[in-house]
Chains A and B, each alone.
Chain A
Amino acid sequence: MPSTRKTADVAGSDTVLDIQGLTVRFETADGEVQAVSDLSLTVAKGECLGIVGESGSGKSQTFMATLGLLADNGRATGKVMFGDADLLTANEATLNSIRGNRAAMVFQDHMTSLTPHMKVGRQLTEVLQRHRGLDAKAALDAVIAMLRRVQIPEPERRAEMYPHELSGGLRQRVMIAMGLLCHPELLIADEPTTALDVTVQALILDLIRDVKDSDNTAVILITHDLGVVAGLADRVAVMYAGRVVELGDVNQIFSEPQHPYTQGLLACSPRLDDALGGKLKTIPGQPPNLQRLPPGCAFAPRCPYVIAACAERPPLRPAAGGGLKACVRDDLASITKAAS
Chain B
Amino acid sequence: MTAPLLQAPLLQVRDLKVHFPVKTGGLLIGRYQPLHAVDGVSFDLAPGETLGIVGESGCGKSTLGRAVLQLLPATSGAVIWLGQEMTGLSAKEIKAARENMQIVFQDPLASLDPRMTAGDIIAEPLRNYHPELSRAETARRVAELMEQVGLLPGMINRYPHEFSGGQCQRIGIARAMILKPKLVICDEPVSALDVSVRAQVINLLKDLQKAFGLAMLFISHDLAVVRHISDRVLVLYLGKVMELAPRDLLYQAPRHPYTRALMSAVPIPDPALERAKPRIILTGDLPSPLNPPSGCVFRTRCPKATDICAQVEPVRESPAPGHDVWCHHSRD
Contact = CB atoms under 8 A, between A and B. Distances in A.
B269 A226 contact: yes
B267 A230 contact: yes
A287 B261 CA distance: 34
A156 interface: no
B268 interface: yes
- The CB with the most chain B CB atoms within 10 A, among A250, A266, A286, is that of A286
A231 B275 contact: yes
Contacts of A228: 267
Contacts of B206: 279
A225 interface: yes
Interface in B204-240: 206, 221-225, 227-228
B202 A270 contact: yes
How large, as a class, is the contact surface on chain B? 35 or more
Contact of B200 (A54, A203, A269, A282): A282
A251 B196 contact: no
Interface in A258-275: 264-266, 268-273
B262 to A, nearest CB: 6
B56 A273 contact: no
A230 B272 CA distance: 8
Given A198-B221, A202-B279, A287-B164, A227 B195 contact: no
B225 A270 contact: yes
A273 B269 CA distance: 10
Given A280-B199, A286-B167, A287-B164, A227 B267 contact: yes
A230 B194 contact: no
Interface stretch (A30-38, A39-47, A164-172): A164-172
How large, as a class, is the contact surface on chain A? 35 or more
A231 B267 contact: yes
A130 B268 CA distance: 41
Given A270-B224, A280-B228, A282-B196, A198 B262 contact: yes
B273 A197 contact: no
A279 B229 CA distance: 10
A254 B200 contact: no
A54 B196 contact: yes
Contacts of A266: 269
Contact of A55 (B57, B194, B272, B284): B194
B106 to A, nearest CB: 14
A272 B281 CA distance: 18
Interface in B108-130: none
Given A54-B194, A254-B271, A169 B285 contact: yes
Nearest to A270: B224
Given A201-B265, A282-B200, A268 B270 contact: no
Nearest to A302: B196
B325 to A, nearest CB: 19
B266 interface: yes
B269 A250 contact: no
B203 interface: yes
A133 interface: no
Given A170-B285, A254-B270, A272-B224, A287 B197 contact: yes
B195 A265 contact: yes
A284 B262 CA distance: 31
B166 interface: yes
Contacts of B167: 286
- The CB with the most chain B CB atoms within 10 A, among A199, A229, A269, A289, is that of A199
A251 B272 contact: yes
Interface string B266-304: 111111111100010110111000000000000000000
B223 A227 contact: no
B312 to A, nearest CB: 25
B199 A270 contact: yes
Contact of A202 (B194, B197, B221, B281): B281
A281 interface: yes
- The CB with the most chain A CB atoms within 10 A, among B261, B262, B274, is that of B274
Contacts of A315: none
A212 interface: no
Contact of A273 (B57, B273, B285): B273
B227 A272 contact: yes
B159 interface: no
- The CB with the most chain A CB atoms within 10 A, among B265, B267, B279, B284, is that of B267
A153 interface: yes
A132 B330 CA distance: 53
B245 to A, nearest CB: 15
A226 B274 CA distance: 11
A186 B227 CA distance: 38
B198 interface: yes
A70 interface: no
A205 B277 CA distance: 14
A284 B286 CA distance: 39
Nearest 5 Cβ contacts at the A-B interface: A227-B267, A197-B56, A226-B269, A54-B194, A283-B196
14 contacts: A167-B286, A170-B285, A198-B266, A202-B265, A230-B267, A230-B273, A230-B274, A254-B270, A272-B223, A272-B266, A276-B227, A280-B199, A282-B203, A286-B167
Given A270-B202, A279-B203, 15 more contacts: A55-B165, A55-B194, A199-B282, A202-B279, A202-B281, A229-B269, A231-B271, A250-B271, A251-B271, A254-B270, A265-B196, A272-B223, A273-B268, A273-B273, A283-B199
